[in-house]
Amino acid sequence: MDKTLKAKTRLNGICPYFTMFPLDFPYSILEEHGSRGEWVLDPFCGRGTTIYASRLLGMPSIGIDSSPVATAISEAKLVNIKPGHIVSTAIKILKNAEEPSDIPTGEFWELAFHKNVLNSLCKFRESFLRNCRSDSRKALRAIILGALHGPRPKSKQSYFSNQSQRTYAPKPNYAVNYWKRKGLLPEEVDVIEIIREKADRYFGLEKSQGMGKIIVGDSRNNKYFQKIQSQVNWVITSPPYYGMSSYIPDQWLRSWFLGDSSQVNYSSPEQLNHLSPDHFSSALKKVWENSSDICAQNATLVIRFGSINTRNVDALEIIKKSLCQTRWKIKNIKSAGFASQGRRQAIHINSKVSNPREEYDIWANLNC
């Protein structure tokens, strides 16, 4: 991807998601081997990197993910909207909304957000829960998700919260102790100005047109694939690595904004089974089988996969087992380098990574 194009791909960074892979991965594959108008599927769409790469190349796409946070971010990669419309929608919501019926309380919330900022966030939250169908609302929702928590620079404020990490949410007990120890209080930031700046940044230069659909659902369940009428030519994805199962608690604040509890949720009912490599392979197999049901003849599947340092498993063996006795036939396996080169899943799960694990791109073709 050339430097000129990279300058115009800001929309891909609208909200972080710690399992994100580089845009170059799907983009380079589709640019070299795909054709405009061909359909692309990502059954583990995450923050929608494959979705956005498809958009840049004029290819319609479908994303599926069990995480409402992931799908909310991905939906923003498909909208076609001008920054001014996003800001107008935000102003209208705050002007017309009634006082929120559910404002979280407690020490964490008092220290995480200024009371007036939290009030505005709750107005947005309740408005989106009633209606988030328009492109302007989907874009605004993703902007707020991305700005919900993050660092406090000395100059212009870019986030709504007290000092936090941007990628994953602060855990209440740790955060409260940290803020107290450092004497940090939440500031009354200008909510609309933050939205305006981010709308300009992420949508101001966007010239490509989004086409496709995002589905909230478990890709192991075939019913979500029955909603798809198009024949898919490309499946490009990166499943969660075996043992990586902290998605929900690490995104709990963004999950709250989308309607979840105001307390950390440590359950993971719709995540892949991480009890053993065999269980994990069996779960992946269902996804590959479901994907093949909506694919055109000679469709191509490309999987990026690796392992995390806390689990001593053979990543390639897991993928090979998952594809065994499906209609997908492995054609090629390429090294994708090491996890440290791409801010990948292995880095997040263990901050002291001394031996980064190799990642692989597994190419398979559909045998009809």
- Distance, in Å, from the CA atom of 75 to the CA atom of 61, rounded to the nearest integer, reads 11
CA distance linking residue 280 with residue 366, whole number of Å:
22
Do the Cβ atoms of 148 and 253 come closer than 8 Å?
A: yes
Burial class of residue 170, CB neighbours in 10 A (0-12, 13-18, 19+): buried
pLDDT value, residue 274 = 57
Contact in structure between 292 and 326 (CB atoms under 8 Å): yes
CB 244 within 8 A of CB 50: no
Where do the structural domains in the chain lie, given as residue ranges? 3-78+211-366, 83-203
- Tell me the three state secondary structure of residue 107: helix
Digitized pLDDT (tens) for each residue of the chain, 368 residues in all: 554 455 568 999 999 987 668 999 999 999 999 999 999 999 999 999 999 999 999 999 999 999 999 999 999 999 999 999 999 999 999 999 999 999 999 999 999 999 999 999 999 999 999 999 999 999 999 999 999 999 998 888 999 999 999 998 999 999 999 999 999 999 999 999 999 999 999 999 999 999 999 999 999 999 999 989 999 999 999 998 887 665 678 899 999 999 999 999 776 555 565 568 899 999 999 999 999 999 999 999 999 998 776 566 888 999 999 999 999 999 999 999 986 543 444 333 334 444 667 899 999 999 86
E strands present in the chain:
40-42, 61-65, 212-216, 232-237, 295-305, 328-338, 358-366
pLDDT of residue 194: 98
Strands of the sheet containing 61-65, edge to edge, are: 212-216, 61-65, 40-42, 232-237, 295-305, 358-366, 328-338
List of E strands, 308-357: 328-338
- By CB atoms closer than 10 A (0-12, 13-18, 19+), residue 13 is middle
Determine phi and psi for 362, rounding to 5 degrees.
-105, 120
Pick 3-78+211-366's CATH classification: 3.40.50.2000, 3.30.160.250, 3.40.50.150, 1.10.3370.10: 3.40.50.150
Question: CA 133 to CA 141: how far, in whole Å?
Answer: 11
Helix 135-147 with 115-130: angle, nearest 10 deg: 150
The single residue listed with the structure tokens 């583990």 is 44
pLDDT of the residue at 348: 39
d(C-alpha 115, C-alpha 111), whole Å: 9
Q: Look up residue 112 and give its two tokens.
A: 């995480």
CA angle centred on 292, ends 70 and 25, rounded to 5°: 50
